[in-house]
Structure 1
Amino acid sequence: MRFAALCLLLFPAFFASAQPVKTIISLSPHTTEMAYAAGLGDKLIAASDYSDYPEAAKSLERVANYRGIKMERIVALQPDLILAWEGGNPTREMTRLEQLGFKVFYSNPKSLEDIAATLEQLGQFANTPEQAQHNAQDFRQRLDKLRLAHKEKQPVSYFYQLSTSPIITVAGDNWPSQVFSLCGGQNIFANSTVAYPQVSQEQVIIRQPEVIFGTSHAAADPSVWNNWREQLPAVEKQHIFTVTSDWLNRPTPRTIKAAEEVCQYLDQVRESDL
């Protein structure tokens, strides 16, 4: 509760006027999912492409995609609140919507804790905040459990294959590195100067990851790495795992499922090395 109170203090102007709203538009899949988790699902009237969770989101009108947003349609719908992905939705169009008087809530969680905090912030717009508070509390409890269980475990080096052709990974603290770090994973490309660098198989081999992770959308195909079985510990020991992409890549309450999945795989690797 103290953490939630601090969040409200950090955003006094926005949340001082926060009150239940009647209509909401979401401009990214993760903000759509967050809205439902915060008890705002019945207020959503439109969303972005790929807003596919929960099931009810699939029937919403589409007003945004990777190319941009449908300004005229959004203006015509006159939503009370717009949920946007900070850094993901086009800045020029978002600024224009604000100039037209639309209230915009920006979401871009940088840490796992930010997911729970964002839920509570969104709950300010619900008729009652109980659902948001409950889901935020559940998320924090499961997160604390994982953190406590893995804080002293042996680090495991990993490579996360975000895409196959070209091979792209993640560096530094960029999402979803936080999920792997929670479980004691050490990113072999953590020090890259590019947030999402394109890498080669040779660069991966030089760094000798103990584990290779892929997702259901961009699977780490064992056949891609089989030629390097003798050079790569992860391939030799069959430590190539697929994680559910929407759980991992979208910063939402389901991220905790990705964390539990990743922690389980890393524990499996540790046990096999005993």
Structure 2
Amino acid sequence: MVLALTWPPVTHAAPLRVISLAPHATELAYAAGLGPNMIAASAYSDYPKPAQSLERVANYRGVKLERIIALQPDLILAWRGGNPPKPLETLAELGFHIRYLNPEKLSDIGRFIRELGRYSDNKAMATRNADAFDNKLMQLKQQYRSAAPVPYFYLLSDSPLMTASDRAWPSQLFHLCGGENIFADSPAAYPQVNMEQVITRAPKVMFHTGDTQPRSWQSLVELLPDYAHTFTWSLNPDWLTRATPRALNAAEQICTALDKVRHAQ
């Protein structure tokens, strides 16, 4: 279930001071026109470029609680599941204003941009970016609504061999383009699998992230009997895994790949 947010009236005389504790939240804040208000962010908040110069107050190990308190932000953007709960509970008890940005559907991205825009002095920018995202998403949905399904395998990790089920965020982007996840029914969001399972389920296309092919790729090439008709594609990891407007860039990469498979069949 998507977290329902309530957004109080925005009444601040001085410029709002905003901290983001997740890369996707940072990008959403900038898309909503809050760039001038950002004073700190999490590690890997590298887009857009101005975010790279922000002070780092969080990473995968935790958050710098004392530093966040010292910075006295008016608004903290957090991520349930990505940020440890106890420091955030402490910040809430101290009276800090925390908003959790936990998109579960692609359509949540535009919604969050609009909602964050209520805190922005550039509300027109938030509306413009949200509209652009929603329009592009609708276009892709209409274009691929009746597309023939293509079985795919997404390699998340090479050692151990891991993928993403339909419970994981990236699967929405594949599904949007008519991709059929060969591990859709796994009870885990990011299951560990083995080579035999991949071969038995016979994907027509395989995806990975980064510029180099994983070590296991050659084994799949040799063992998949129909590999001559199978394609491999590298995807931009930030586009694929972050719930931001750039997610649709990953969708376009995926749609292009799946179309090539369809045309080759």
Compared with structure 1, are the counterparts of its residues 23 and 213 closer, same or farther at alpha carbon in structure 2 (3 Å cutoff)?
same
Compared with structure 1, are the counterparts of its residues 240 and 103 closer, same or farther at alpha carbon in structure 2 (3 Å cutoff)?
same
Question: Equivalences for 1:48-63 in 2 at 5 Å?
Answer: 48-63=42-57
Pair 1:37-2:31 in alignment: yes
Q: Output the CA distance in 1 between the equivalents of 2:61 and 2:194.
A: 28
Compared with structure 1, are the counterparts of its residues 19 and 227 closer, same or farther at alpha carbon in structure 2 (3 Å cutoff)?
same
Structure 2: state its 5+ residue gaps: none
Under a length normalisation based on structure 1, what TM-score does the superposition of the two structures give?
0.90
Compared with structure 1, are the counterparts of its residues 149 and 71 closer, same or farther at alpha carbon in structure 2 (3 Å cutoff)?
same
Deviations 1:37-69 (A, max 9, x none): 110011110111111111111110010011000
In the other structure, the counterpart of 1:184 is 178
Question: Equivalences for 1:112-261 in 2 at 5 Å?
Answer: 112-216=106-210, 220-221=213-214, 224-229=216-221, 231-232=223-224, 235-261=227-253
In the other structure, the counterpart of 2:75 is 81
SS at match of 2:45: coil
Percent of matched pairs sharing the same residue: 49
Q: Which has the higher helix share?
A: 1
- Paired residues in the alignment total 261
CA shift, 1:22, in A, is: 1.4
Deviations 1:182-231 (A, max 9, x none): 000010111001111111111111111111100117x553x523334354
RMSD value over aligned CA atoms? 1.7
CA shift, 1:124, in A, is: 0.8
Please say if residues 43 and 59 of structure 2, whose CA atoms lie closer than 8 Å, have aligned partners that are also in contact: yes
Structure 1: state its 5+ residue gaps: 1-6
SS at match of 1:15: coil
Please say if residues 203 and 230 of structure 2, whose CA atoms lie closer than 8 Å, have aligned partners that are also in contact: no
Compared with structure 1, are the counterparts of its residues 86 and 262 closer, same or farther at alpha carbon in structure 2 (3 Å cutoff)?
same
Deviations 1:150-195 (A, max 9, x none): 1111000001111221121111232011000000001011100111
Compared with structure 1, are the counterparts of its residues 19 and 110 closer, same or farther at alpha carbon in structure 2 (3 Å cutoff)?
farther
Amino acid at match of 1:253: P
Q: Output the CA distance in 2 between the equivalents of 1:211 and 1:69.
A: 39
Under a length normalisation based on structure 2, what TM-score does the superposition of the two structures give?
0.93
Amino acid at match of 1:131: M
